[in-house]
Amino acid sequence: MTAIRTQVVPDSGVKTAAPALEPLLSEIHEAGRAGRHVRGSEDADALIPNEFRRRASLDLPEITEPQVVRHFTHLAQLNYAVDTGMYPLGSCTMKYNPKVNDRIAALAGFAEIHPRQDDDTIQGALRLMFELQELLAKLTGMDAATLQPAAGAHAEFTALLVFKAYHSKRGDAARRRRVIVPDTAHGTNPASAAMCGYTVTTVKSDSRGNIDLASLKAALGDDVVGLMLTNPNTLGLFEERLREVCDAVHNAGGLVYGDGANMNALLGVARPGDLGFDCIHINVHKTFSTPHGAGGPGAGPLCVKAKLEPFLPHPRITRDTDGSYRRGPTPPDSIGRVRSFFGNFGVLVRAYTYMRTLGEEGLAEASNDAILAANYLLAQLRDSYDVAFDRPCMHEFVLSASRQRKQGASALDVAKALIDEGFHPPTVYFPLVVPEALMIEPTETEPRETLDAFAAAMVRVAERAKTDPASVKAAPLHAPLARLDEVSAARYPRLRWQRPT
């Protein structure tokens, strides 16, 4: 296997393993090497006006063009990607991204326009955004949408600012300081509430995996801003008493926020606006495709009921009576901008393309297939692992490796062993309410053979945990890297290369 060399993290004394798989560009640097073949380019440099000439040396590695290409190709070949295999990461909706989305996003009329161009010159882009606003509002059963937030967490933050503005308008903001969040919520929910200066009240789940209605009612009061609810929740379960939940919050004068990061079970099946939510954000980079992970890019449009529309960030895209599109004026009650320009436009183009190519029926089929795939996998795995809440699941489900843990292999070990089986591991240790959680979301894009192969791999790992847990603990043996020091990586992140001293 590959040699791993040890490095010392500066100032920490902690030793981390750094891979010697692929030398750094600085390590293959050789003074005088270059990738440029243009004769006379020195003369071209002389054409640059003096004030724009670079004075300092950039200290960049000097290498040939093929060296650069091979370096990055080697790195890419070490990656696991949805283009190379199934990606069962629960709560992330790692579906296959149709290549046509990228082709459309790369069209010059989309990729090469500038946000400061006049509205008259970017009618196509404005029309796309206008229609996407409408499509998303319709699909979620809401009245209006903003495309500005750059991601899910950013949309949560935006929604809470909108809630604050709504309560302010009613003269109610000073005493409403508390946001209610279920114990199954994604970590960004309480974080967004805290960023808005609110305190967070956590409400537990009941024995069927729903938000506990009695605890919710006990937590409600006239100091509550609202409830942040994910449905299907992060256990992959549909909230069974959703109407009562929403009614209880509304009766206390609060608002119900829907975390629709993963809409993959609901497209064309159920509309959050009909279920009692006042708003919902959508991670278009999850549900509506777009390669994501490793920090972006994304977009988190926020769809709201009419009563919240006046407070949405601006500019939003409007259509004039003559059929032309423009950036609308800022209404007096808007919370203002939350992002420069319009958000991540390329991601919006991909989402629009995805929706238009599938059409309403195709979207509903995607959701139904996603639900079917998840239940199909759950049925194959229920004997080998503990099932957290034994109900039909939506687009994802949560297993527990508690049994395996007692045998000597934790959820993390199971995840690492799956790497040797050729699969990306599922989400582990989330949601927090399930011990040794393994959260699996197959998505609608995997064929049955792949689902069967993944289930067989999970079953094999469970068998090994029973008969030879030490081998599961030792995994992965067939990956480019063995176990990484995850604690040091989190505690002492080194986010840029530093020249060794």
Ligand X SMILES: *Cc1c(COP(=O)(O)O)cnc(C)c1O
Which residues of this protein are in contact with ligand X, per CB under 6 A?
91, 151-153, 186, 188, 230, 234, 259, 261-262, 283, 298, 300
Give the number of C-alpha atoms closer than 13 A to the C-alpha of residue 27, restricted to the C-beta side: 9
Q: Taking Cα atoms as reference points, which of 290, 226, 291, 217 lies closest to residue 259? A: 226
CB of residue 211 to ligand X, shortest distance in Å: 14
Nearby residues of 215 by Cβ (< 8 Å), 6 or more positions away: 203, 204
CA Rg, the chain, in Å?
25
| Helical packing angle, 188-195 and 152-169, nearest 10° | 40
Q: Toward ligand X, which CB reaches closer, 239 or 259? A: 259
| Rounded Cα gap, residues 205 and 366, in angstroms | 29
| Rounded Cα gap, residues 205 and 203, in angstroms | 7
Q: What 3-state class would DSSP assign to 437? A: strand
Q: What 3-state class would DSSP assign to 390? A: coil
CB of residue 267 to ligand X, shortest distance in Å: 16
CB of residue 140 to ligand X, shortest distance in Å: 15
Query: CA distances (Å), 365 to each of 85, 168, 348, 349, 369, in order?
Result: 22, 42, 22, 22, 6
CB of residue 411 to ligand X, shortest distance in Å: 18
Q: Toward ligand X, which CB reaches closer, 253 or 298? A: 298
Q: Toward ligand X, which CB reaches closer, 151 or 409? A: 151
CB of residue 228 to ligand X, shortest distance in Å: 9
CB of residue 500 to ligand X, shortest distance in Å: 34
CB of residue 187 to ligand X, shortest distance in Å: 8
List phi, psi (to 5°) of 484: -90, 160
**The tokens 């009061």 sit on which residue?**
221
Q: Toward ligand X, which CB reaches closer, 140 or 262? A: 262
Q: Toward ligand X, which CB reaches closer, 142 or 261? A: 261
CB of residue 185 to ligand X, shortest distance in Å: 7
Q: Toward ligand X, which CB reaches closer, 94 or 409? A: 94
CB of residue 111 to ligand X, shortest distance in Å: 22
CB of residue 91 to ligand X, shortest distance in Å: 4
DSSP annotation string for 149-209 = -SSHHHHHHHHHHHHHHHHHHTT-TTT--EEEEETTS-THHHHHHHHTT-EEEEE-B-TTS
Q: Toward ligand X, which CB reaches closer, 293 or 331? A: 293
Residue 182 bridge partners (DSSP): 203
Give the number of C-alpha atoms closer than 13 A to the C-alpha of residue 74, restricted to the C-beta side: 13
Residue 437, both tokens: 């959680």
Q: Toward ligand X, which CB reaches closer, 216 or 347? A: 347
CB of residue 234 to ligand X, shortest distance in Å: 6
Q: Taking Cα atoms as reference points, which of 158, 167, 170 lies closest to residue 195? A: 158
Q: Toward ligand X, which CB reaches closer, 279 or 475? A: 279
Instruction: Name the closest residue to ligand X (Cβ).
Output: 152
Q: Toward ligand X, which CB reaches closer, 225 or 261? A: 261
Beta strands in 370-483 (DSSP E): 386-387, 397-400, 427-428, 437-440
Q: Toward ligand X, which CB reaches closer, 201 or 262? A: 262
Q: Taking Cα atoms as reference points, which of 256, 270, 191 lies closest to residue 225? A: 256
Chain centre distance of CA 290: 10
CB of residue 378 to ligand X, shortest distance in Å: 19
| Rounded Cα gap, residues 378 and 458, in angstroms | 11
Q: Toward ligand X, which CB reaches closer, 152 or 236? A: 152
- Tell me which H or E stretch contains 255: strand 255-260
